[in-house]
Amino acid sequence: MESKQQLLNTNSLNFECETGNYHTFCPISCVAWLYQKIEDSFFLVIGTKTCGYFLQNALGVMIFAEPRYAMAELEEADISAHLNDYMELKRLCSIIKKDRNPSVIFWIGTCTTEIIKMDLEGIAPKLEAELGVPIVVARANGLDYAFTQGEDTVLASLVQSYGLKTTSQTISNKSSKLILFGSVPNTVVHELTNELNFFGVEVGGWLPAKRYTEFPLLNEKDFVCGVNPYLSRTATALMRRRKCQLIGAPFPIGPDGTRAWIEKICSIFNKPVNGLKEKENRIWKTLQVYTDLLKGKSVFFMGDNLLEISLARFLIRCGMVVFEIGIPYMDKRYQGAELSLLEKTCEEKGVFLPIIVEKPDNYNQIDRIKDLEPDLVITGMAHANPLEARGINTKWSVEFTFSQIHGFTNAKNILDLISKPLLRNLNKDIYFSH
C-alpha cells in the first residue's frame, strides 16, 4: 500500500482488493426503508434470534410507525431440520394475509438460511399459488452481501419475478420510455422527476413504486437509469431479464453528480439542457459556507454502504482531500460513469486520485489512518467509538444511507453530516444558511 507521499503523486485510478470479508452493517436492514417505501408490502425476515435482536435495535427508531415486517425465527429444532419449513411458513403467511392483506410478501433470507440450505425459492411458488399472494424471495445475508446490497437483491428479485407486469412486444409504434430505479423518499422522487420533466424527459415510472400494484410496465428497449451506486444486480436483471437499455450515468449525489446525471439522460433522449450549468452554480453558491470550512480538510473512507465513490467525488469537488476510498464491493461497469467523473474531478481540481480499496482489511486501514492522519474518517458503526477514543474524528456511514442526499437541494444534507464532527473538534459554532 502506498505511503502518504506516494498517494500525493497518484494521477491514475488505482484499485486494490484485500481480505474478501465484509465489515459492514447487516444487509437485512434494507427492510427498514423498503417496507415504508412499498406501502402495500409485508417483509418476513427468516433467521435466528440474533437477526431479530438486530432488527429490533436497528429499526427501533421507527417505533411510532406501524411496521409491516416480522421475524420467522429459526430455533434449534429448525436448524436440525426437525420441522417442516413449508408448513411453518404457510402458517405465518396465512396469519400475515389475514391480518394485513398485503399485495406482496417478501421473504428475506439471512445467513442461517444459507448455511442450512433452506429452499425458499422452491417453497415460495407453491405457497404463492396456495395463498393467492405474490411471494418474492430475496437473499440479504451478510455472508454474500454488504449493507445496502440488501436493497439490490430485493429489487433484482422483483425484476426477475413474474409479479412485475411486462411485455416483450416490439416497440415499433411506441417510443421507449424511461424507468428510474432505486428506493428513495417520495420528496426525492418528485424532485428528480421534476428536474427531468423540466428538460422534456418524461419519467415512465420508478422501481420500486409506492405500491406493488403500481409498479411500472416494463417493455423491451425501455431505458432504465439508477439513482444509487449499489444497484448493480438490479441493473443486470433489468438488462438480461427485461431486455431494457441501461443508461450509464454518474449518480445524482451532489450538485456535480446531479447535473451529470441529468445531462446523460437528456443526451439519450436528445433534449437540450439549457440553464442546467447555471442552476448548478447557484447551488454551489448556497453551499459556500460549507466549502470554505471543508477546503483542505482530509477524509478517509473505511467502506460500508457502497456510496463511497460518489461521496468522495463530491467532497473532492468541495475542496477536500480524499486519501482512500474503501468500498465493500466494486462493480466497475455499473459505476463506470461515476469513476470517470471522479477522474475528471481530480484532474480539474489538480489533486491526486485517491486509492480505491475493495473489501478493505480494517486492521490494515487502521495502520494507514495512523500514517495519513486524516481530519475525518467515515466508517461503519463498529469502528467509530474506538477511533474517537484515539482522537480521530468520525462520521457513521449509515447516516448517509438514511438521509436524503440525492438531487440539488439535498447536497446541503451531505455537508451538514460531514461538517458536524469537524466543528465539534474545533469547538466552534457556525451558522449554516438554508
Q: Summarize pLDDT for 387-414 with one digit per residue, the tens.
A: 999 999 999 999 999 999 999 999 999 9
pLDDT at residue 176, rounded to an integer: 86
Residue 135 lies in a domain: yes
Residue 67 is part of which domain span?
A: 27-145
Q: Are 410 and 301 within one domain?
A: yes
Q: Are 284 and 405 within one domain?
A: yes
**Predicted TM-score (pTM) above 0.75:** yes
Residue 155 lies in a domain: no
Q: Are 193 and 139 within one domain?
A: no
pLDDT at residue 157, rounded to an integer: 94
Q: Are 172 and 283 within one domain?
A: no
pLDDT at residue 4, rounded to an integer: 57
Residue 157 lies in a domain: no
Residues that constitute the known binding site: 26, 51, 111
Residues of the chain scoring pLDDT < 50: 63-64, 163, 168-173, 429-434
Q: Are 312 and 377 within one domain?
A: yes
Residue 432 lies in a domain: no
Q: Measured between alpha carbons, how far is 343 from 349 in angstroms, rounded to an integer?
A: 10
Q: Measured between alpha carbons, how far is 32 from 108 in angstroms, rounded to an integer?
A: 12
Residue 431 lies in a domain: no
Among the three residues 268, 303, 326, which one is the final residue of a domain in this structure? 268
Nearest alpha carbon to residue 206 among 413, 66, 406: 406
Residue 150 lies in a domain: no
Q: Measured between alpha carbons, how far is 263 from 280 in angstroms, rounded to an integer?
A: 12
Tell me the residue type at 273: V
pLDDT at residue 13, rounded to an integer: 86
Q: Are 341 and 420 within one domain?
A: yes
Q: Are 316 and 329 within one domain?
A: yes
pLDDT at residue 36, rounded to an integer: 87
For 214, 305, 316, 376, the CA distances from 343, given in Å and listed in that order, are 39, 21, 11, 22
Among the three residues 216, 248, 268, which one is the final residue of a domain in this structure? 268
- The CATH code of the domain that includes 194 is 3.40.50.1980
Residue 162 lies in a domain: no
Residue 186 lies in a domain: yes
Alpha carbons within 13 A on the beta-carbon side of 11: 5
Q: Are 327 and 262 within one domain?
A: no
Q: Are 134 and 235 within one domain?
A: no
Q: Are 415 and 282 within one domain?
A: yes
Among the three residues 203, 235, 268, which one is the final residue of a domain in this structure? 268
Q: Are 134 and 175 within one domain?
A: no
Residues that constitute the known binding site for [4Fe-4S] cluster: 26, 51, 111
How many separate domains does the chain show? 3
pLDDT at residue 162, rounded to an integer: 55
Q: Are 78 and 186 within one domain?
A: no
pLDDT at residue 406, rounded to an integer: 98
Q: Which strand ranges, in their side-by-side order, compose the sheet holding 245-246?
A: 203-207, 178-181, 223-226, 245-246
